[in-house]
Structure 1
Amino acid sequence: MLKPQTGPTREVVNLDGVWRFAVDDRSAQAPWTADLGGTLDVAVPASYNDQFIDPAIRNHVGWVWYQRNVDVPRSWTGGRIMVRFDAATHEGRVYVDDTFVGEHIGGYTPFEFDVTDLVERGARFRLTVGVNNELTEHTVPPGHIFELADGRRKQQYHHDFFNYAGLARSVMLLHVPDLRVTDVTVVTEVDGADGLVGVDVNTSAAGTVRLALRDESGAVVAEGEGASTQLRVPEARLWQAGAAYLYELDVVVLHPETGDVDDTYTVNVGIRTVEVRGTQFLLNGEPFYFTGFGKHEDTAVRGKGHDNAYLVHDFQLMDWVGANSFRTSHYPYAEEVLDYADRHGIIVIDETSAVGFNLGVAGGMSQRNPPPTFSPETLGDRTRETHAQHLRELIARDKNHPSVVMWCIANEPAGQEDGAREYFEPLTTLSRELDPTRPVTYTAWLGAHSGNDQIADLFDVIGINRYFGWYIDLGDLVAAEEKLRADIEGWIERYQRPVFMMEYGADTMAGLHAIDAAPWSEEYQKAYLEMHHRVFDDYPEFVGEHVWNFADFRTGAGLHRVGGNKKGIFTRDRQPKAAAHSLRERWTGLGGQKPGTAGR
């Protein structure tokens, strides 16, 4: 789905701001048929949970309602009028005045509806949006709901971050032409010193497509015509980690009879290649070593609400610490994040919201006698169909971002269980059908190792999440190092593929110090990371290190989560812990090379 943009043929009215708000049990039977009652207002974009001090709203399970009046510009003659949502977590239903327009399931990808025939140009309409945060066995991520003795409904989920919900990203009213660009797919290759830019364009109706590729100075470097063509760029500037170079592709659609311009759409293009060859990950044909983090969209009050100030500051901190990459754990991030990564040369591993696919683990705590994860009664065909749709929407949205170099289709699934292969094999096949140009990965949890994992060979890069020295052998880094080496060697020996540590970390209370580097102290976090780095540097098959986590983040309540997950290198308000300085010393200046290999 194309990201909205304002241009000669398109207009956007941003609907962010303060909306009226109600939870379902405090609203009318059909709240979209009238103005929402009550005095509650809510900010958009932002999760609704922490904006209010009422715990019944913060922990509400079920539907909530957003509403505002929208004025349609009188100047919008002809064309189509669309209402667009960058996300509604986890399900959205849209109403124009009293009319149901449509719904979307999935909390982190965009959707839009044509409302041309329901609104009047130069007039006002009432826009109402229902948002549901419920997670079940068939949603992605999964969960289940049970009712307490006092009648309250409680949501249980198996991922270790708070289930923030609502309209956390922008809402827009769009005006687009009848004959318009509906999709663009860009695939880049390198041929000697030249860049090859393959372009496929879909339009709403038949028209003539013309293409012009401009460099950063605005000069046209390649032109073409047709809905499917390849442009050659002589002496191309490649998009590199830390040295982004973006071309601008102008897509113009001409009316088939008059030859007039009906639509124009612009796509940023980074010419680069990615490839897995043997045990190496290659960017533009050269071995690349990932340094960085798993992150979260998580800030105080906003929850998962997108905030451009935090976007800029977080990227400044990643640059300061020497990180060249991050993973969108554990869901697709706002597209503004990827746009920023494109412009600044930050590598992205793009992940679906398939987290919690492990019924033996609930928020990091093992359960006794858990049910099988993959079965018709738990995560079966219906869940896989939902998962596949999430994957389609992720790739359709993010396929043209040069910063995105891998698709991660699940975080910590029960890969050791029977049924895992039958579940995941169709999804890896689908990923490669949708995008044959990018490698596919996943992350293996602690209980899935090289001896029992049933799915690792389906993936191009083996991602592992390991917490030796924290959840296992707490405080004993000698024993932890021994287990870590054996684990990594097992993956390398069995699969002969790149191995990537996508999570490793230790909870750390900022300001807690200990001479003996006791767990939870800043000294222990620093020593814990340094042990891992000694191990990583001994294996040439090892291609990346992503610390868990970039910053402390909010979780559900739990005895082992005091005020949230504290594994951040930065606090939730983005102040550095001691480990941030040691990471900066290790990572700064590497330029994508593995530590200790510079000059080889």
Structure 2
Amino acid sequence: MLSTRTTPTRDVVSLDGLWRFALDTTAGPEPWTSRIPATLEAPVPASYNDLFVDPAIRDHVGVVWYQREVRVPRGWAGERVVLRFGSVTHAAQVYVDDTLVAEHVGGYTPFEADLTDVVAAGQEFRLTVAVDNRLTNITIPPGSVDTLPDGRLKQSYFHDFYNYAGIARSVKLASTPRAHVSDITVVTGIDGTSGTVDYTVEAAGTDGHDVRLRVLDEDGVTVATAEGETGSIRIDDVRLWQPGAAYLYDLVVELTRDGELVDSYTLPFGVRTVEVRGTQFLINGEPFYFTGFGKHEDTPVRGKGHDDAYLVHDFQLLDWTGANSFRTSHYPYAEEVLDFADRHGIVVVDETAAVGLNLGVQGGLTGIPPTPTFAEENFGGETKNVHAQHLRELIARDKNHPSVVMWSIANEPASNEEGARGYFEPLVDLARDLDPTRPLTYAAVMFANPTNDTIADLFDVLSINRYYGWYVFTGDLATAESVLEQELRGWVQRFGKPIMMSEYGADTQPGLHSVWDMPWTEEYQTDLLAAYHRVFDRIPEFVGEHIWNFADFMTGPGIHRVDGNKKGVFTRDRKPKGAAFSLRGRWRGLEGRKPGSAHAGDPAATDAAATEGTAS
């Protein structure tokens, strides 16, 4: 799916701003048929949960309503009119006046409605959106809804981040010609000093139109041309897109008829290759070592609402620490995030919203014996089809981003349970069919180990989540370090694949200090990370480290969470904890070094870098 852009033949109007807002309990019957009372207003984009002081809104389970008036620009007569939502969490019904124009399930991927035959240029219409935050066993992510004795609905879910809801990303009204470019796919390669671009252009609303293409460099100079819906373009003396050194070309795709321009769309792209070879992860044929974080779209007040100010500041902090990458845990992030990563050379592991496919975790937290995760009545039935559709939408949206180097199919699924392989093998096959160019991974939960995991052989990179020294061997870092190394070597020995740590860390209360190994102190977080790093540096097959988490984030209520998850290296408002400085020393010390080079097996070098970072 192409993102919405202004071009010589296309216009875009932002619908962000304040919308009328109401719960389904106060909106009245069929609220799309009339004006919702303007008692409450909610900003778009933003989650609605933290905006208001009324707990009935924050704790609401079910549908809420957004509404505003929209005027179609008078110059759009004869054009195709499209309404696009960046995301609605977790399901949406969209009405134009009294007409249902779109329905979508899935809170983290975009969807569109073609309004061409519903609205008119120069006229105003009433736009109403029903937003449903409920999670069930056939949603991604999953959950369950129970009815309490007093009739209230209670939402339960199986992931450790707050179930923020609302219209969290931008809403846009756009025009295109009736005959238009509907999709573009580019696959890049390297041939000596030249770059190759294999392309496919799809058009809609047309028969008999021609396609012509131009590649522009960053100075706007045409460096290559082509014609036809499919083909290959060669760029001589190519500038590669590289981690930390982004370079983007523009692919200008023009639809013509009898030599006259009908539609034009410009797609930024980077020339780079990604490959897993043996136990190495290669970008442009060179070994790449991931340093960075799992992140969340989570900020005070806005919840999961996209915010450009936080976008810029977060990337500044990534650069300050020396991080070169992050994982979009545990859902696709806003398109603006990936565009920014493209422009600034940050590498992205792009993850689906399949978090919580593990009833064993719920059992561990509640003490209730879990039922089989992949039983038909749990996630073994329709859930797999929903997961597949989410995977299709993710890859369709993000396939052309050079920053995206790997797809993560799921976070912490029950890969050790019976039924896991039957669930995941078709999804792996689907992902490889949709995009054969990028490696695949998933993040393994602590219950899955090298001896009982049933799906690791299907994937290209082993991503491991481990919390030795925190949930297990709490306060005993010596044992944690020994057990961690033993297990990681077990994964390598059994599967012979590159391995990375996709989550590791410890909850940390900023300002809490101790001279002993005291959990929750800033020193303990720093020491735990250092213990893990010593292990990583002793394993030649190791290709990366993503700490959990970049910043503290909000969670659901629970006695083991006080004001959210505190595993962030930064606080929720982006203040550094002590570990941030030691990480800066380590990661900047690794810059320019390949896996297995001078840092490997040299704890003294790592400790020296950490000391230098702390001093700074």
TM-score norm. by structure 1 comes to: 0.98
- Counterpart of 2:221, as a letter, is A
Native 8 Å contact 1:324 1:592 kept in 2: no
The separation in 2 between residues aligned to 1:27 and 1:188, in whole angstroms, is: 51
- How many angstroms does 1:62 deviate by? 0.4
Q: Provide Cα deviations, 1:217-241, integer angstroms capped at 9, x if missing partner.
A: 1111110000001000111111100
CA displacement at 1:486 relative to structure 2: 1.1
Secondary structure of the 1:25 match is coil
1:591 CA displacement: 3.4
Give the alignment partner of residue 243 of structure 1, picking from 239, 242, 245.
Answer: 245
Q: Within 2, Cα distance between the matches of 1:248 and 1:216?
A: 8
Take 2:161 and 2:428, find their aligned partners in 1: how far apart are those partners?
26
In structure 2, the residue matched to 1:51 is 51
User: What is the identity, as a one-letter code, of the residue corresponding to 1:129?
Assistant: V
Conservation of the 8 A alpha-carbon contact between 1:157 and 1:363: no
Residue in 2 that maps onto 1:314? 314
Q: Deviations over 1:443-475 (max 9, x none)?
A: 100000001000100100011000000000000
Equivalents in 2 of 1:342, 1:120: separation in Å? 37
Determine helix, strand or coil for the equivalent of 2:331: coil
2 CA distance for matches of 1:374 and 1:237? 47
CA RMSD of aligned residues (A): 1.2
For residue 596 of structure 1, report the CA deviation from its aligned partner. Answer: 6.6
Summarize deviations over 1:105-148 as a string: whole Å, max 9, x none.
00000000111111121111000000000000010000001111
SS of corresponding position for 1:436 = coil
Matched, 1:417 2:404: no
In structure 2, the residue matched to 1:481 is: 481
Which segments of 5 or more consecutive residues in structure 2 lack a partner in the other structure? 601-616
Tell me: CA distance 1:94–1:310, structure 2 relative to 1, closer, same or farther (3 Å).
same
Ranges in structure 1 where 5+ consecutive residues have no aligned partner = none
- Counterpart in 1 of 2:454? 454
**Alignment partner, residue 330 of structure 2:** 330
Deviation at residue 165 of structure 1 after TM alignment = 0.4
SS of the residue 1:116 aligns to: coil
SS of 2:239's partner is: coil
* Contact in 2 for aligned 1:360/1:367 (Cα 8 Å): no
Specify the code of the residue in structure 2 equivalent to 1:240. Answer: Q
Identity of aligned pairs, percent?
Answer: 63
The equivalent residue for 2:305 is 305
Separation of aligned partners in 1, 2:292 and 2:73: 45
Assess if the C-alpha contact under 8 Å between 1:12 and 1:174 holds in 2: yes
Shift of 1:367: 3.9
Partner Cα separation in structure 1 for residue 272 and residue 304 of structure 2: 31
- Please name the residue that 2:428 is paired with: 428
Name the SS for the 1:361 alignment partner: helix
The worse-fitting range, judged by mean Cα deviation, of 74-83 and 40-49 is: 74-83
CA distance in 1, matches of 2:485, 2:548: 19
The amino acid across from 2:476 in the alignment is D
How far is the alpha carbon of 1:363 from its aligned partner?
A: 9.7
How many residues are paired up? Answer: 598
Distance 1:443 1:550, change over 3 A: same
Does the CA-based 8 Å contact 1:288-1:593 persist in structure 2?
no
Seen in structure 2, the aligned counterparts of structure 1 residues 364 and 232 have a Cα distance that, compared at 3 Å, is farther
Could you tell me which residue of structure 1 aligns to residue 571 of structure 2?
A: 571
User: Per the alignment, in what secondary structure is the counterpart of residue 471 of structure 1?
Assistant: coil
C-alpha distance in 1 between matches for 2:442 and 2:483: 21
**Mapped contact 2:540–2:595 kept (Cα < 8 A):** no
Aligned-residue offset at 1:364: 7.2
Instruction: Map 1:369-380 onto structure 2 (within 5 A).
Output: 369-380=369-380
Q: What TM-score, normalized by structure 2, do the two folds share?
A: 0.96
Q: Distance in 1 between matches of 2:436 and 2:120?
A: 44
Runs of 4+ in 1 over 3 A off after TM superposition: 591-596
Q: Distance in 1 between matches of 2:46 and 2:538?
A: 44
Residue 482 of structure 2: SS of its match in structure 1? helix
- Which amino acid in structure 1 is aligned with residue 311 of structure 2? L
SS state at 2:250 partner: strand
Mapping of 1:201-280 within 5 angstroms?
A: 201-204=201-204, 205-206=206-207, 207-255=209-257, 258-280=258-280
Shift of 1:348: 0.1
CA distance in 2, matches of 1:415, 1:249: 41
- Is 1:176 matched with 2:192? no
Q: Deviations over 1:496-552 (max 9, x none)?
A: 000110000000001111111300000000000000000000001010000000000
Distance of aligned partners of 1:191 and 1:53 in 2 relative to their CA distance in 1, 3 Å threshold: same
- Following the alignment from structure 1 to structure 2, what is the Cα–Cα distance between the partners of residues 251 and 31? 42
